[in-house]
Amino acid sequence: MSNKWIGAALSLALCSTALASCSSRDNSSNQATGGQSGGLTVDWNSKTERQLREAIAEAPANGLKPELFLKGGEEGAALTEAALKYASALANGYADPSQLHEVYTIPHPKVDVRQSLADAIQKGDVKAWLESLAPQTDEYRALSQAHLHYLQLAAKAQAFKTVEVNGKSVALVQAKPVVPWPQPQ
């Protein structure tokens, strides 16, 4: 395999690791650990609930794992909690960079999504509201597409090799040689 393709695979792996690390579950998370709804009561209907479940199923496009938000069968307050957690991850990021790095001085958003969730449910368009919360830049869309492509490649891979990158284990696809080795005669 040429160095170009190995470099591309490594770049995708690192991008995926960066996005996936945003979905790690620890105390450095930007997410509330519970009771995030803060007394918010909303009336879910089948349409808005379906929109939420479909949006969360597409969380990998934003570098997030759906199981971080929905475990299955949530209703009422638990569904509202999942919606708020996912919306906050899209608007604010899942991890708080100031908790991940010793020195982090770049301001990052702290959007309160509670009232806008209620508005989106009232309007019956939770899908469009959630889509509006993720970054809308060309760079973010390109990173998202690259991440989804990498996930597809990783799912197809037969064997993985892990390497150490900055103290973390990263899975790489085991490459097969493009040009077969010459056989002894």
pLDDT of residue 140: 94
pLDDT of residue 82: 96
pLDDT digits (tens, 9 = 90+) for 80-95: 999 999 999 999 999 8
pTM of the model: 0.66
Q: Residue 152: which region, alpha, beta or left (left: phi > 0; alpha: psi -120 to 50)?
A: alpha
pLDDT of residue 17: 42
Q: How far is CA 154 from the centre of its chain?
A: 16
pLDDT of residue 133: 96
Q: Which of 91, 86, 108 is nearest to 99 (CA)?
A: 108
What is the spatial distance between Cα 184 and Cα 130, in angstroms, rounded to a whole number? 60
Q: Which residue has the tokens 């892990």?
A: 162
Q: Which residue has the tokens 């991008």?
A: 15
Question: Which amino acid appears at position 91 of this protein?
Answer: A
Ranges of each domain in the chain:
3-173
Q: How far apart are the first and last CA of the chain?
A: 24
What is the spatial distance between Cα 62 and Cα 148, in angstroms, rounded to a whole number? 9
Work out the number of other CB atoms within 10 angstroms of the CB of residue 10: 15
All residues at 6 or more sequence positions from 17 whose CB lies less than 8 Å from its CB, including other chains: 165, 168, 170
- pLDDT < 70 stretches in the chain: 1-39, 157-161, 172-185
Token pair for residue 181? 């080795």
